[in-house]
Amino acid sequence: MTGYSRAKFPHWAMQYGQCDTREVVLHRDGQGVVQDDKCRAVQGTWYSEYDGKTLTAASQVDIDHMVPLAAGWRAGADLWDTAKRKAFANDLVHSQLIAVSAASNRSKGDQTPDLWKPPLRSYWCTYSRAWIDVKHVYELNVTEAEKNALGEMLDTCQDS
């Protein structure tokens, strides 16, 4: 982790008007989201795919980086320039950002799938596919332990 700092991944960048990445994801992932004139979510509900909790206030919601910034750093983002790190931290196109409960996001921290899996096993298939997509798009390294954990999670895709 030599040289790592979250500040090296400019996140919650402005997307349009006064809407930053966090507010865009809150709107995208929520139901009945109402935003004020500064684009802040002031009403809505969010379902946390990681733990099955329904959240009724934006303050209860964290926007998770599917591949955490620190995990990205360890997997090759340490070699990127700031522009690429910013794109990674604010990616609305791929599977990188998801609204989840603050508790589940903090439980995950910067861990990879060999160290943390969503408590809801029913989400493992989607989670592993999203993780793989992000790692592929950004050409990030995958450890053997991570690969094995992802394989275990992908095996649940047959169950759905």
- pLDDT (tens digit per residue) in 72-115: 999 999 999 999 999 999 999 999 999 999 999 999 999 999 99
Res 33: pLDDT: 98
pLDDT over 90 at 1, yes or no: no
E strand spans, the chain = 14-16, 19-20, 30-35, 41-47, 54-55, 61-65, 97-101
Which residues touch 150 (CB under 8 Å, ≥6 apart)? 113, 128, 131, 132, 142
End-to-end Cα, the chain, rounded Å? 37
Asked whether 134 and 66 are in contact (CB, 8 A), the reply is yes
What's the pLDDT tens digit per position in 13-39?
999 999 999 999 999 999 999 999 999
Give the HSE-up count for residue 92: Cα atoms under 13 Å, Cβ half-sphere.
Answer: 17
Give the HSE-up count for residue 19: Cα atoms under 13 Å, Cβ half-sphere.
Answer: 15
Res 64: pLDDT: 98
What's the pLDDT tens digit per position in 135-157?
999 999 999 999 999 999 999 99
Please state the φ and ψ torsions of residue 20, each to the nearest 5 degrees: -90, 175
Q: Distance between CA atoms of 55 and 81, rounded to whole angstroms?
A: 36
Stretch 39-56: mean pLDDT: 97
pLDDT over 60 at 160, yes or no: no
Which pLDDT band, with edges at 50, 70 and 90, does 158 fall under? confident
Tell me the C-alpha to C-alpha distance, in Å, between residue 14 and each of 22, 77, 116: 9, 22, 30
Which pLDDT band, with edges at 50, 70 and 90, does 60 fall under? very high
Res 101: pLDDT: 98
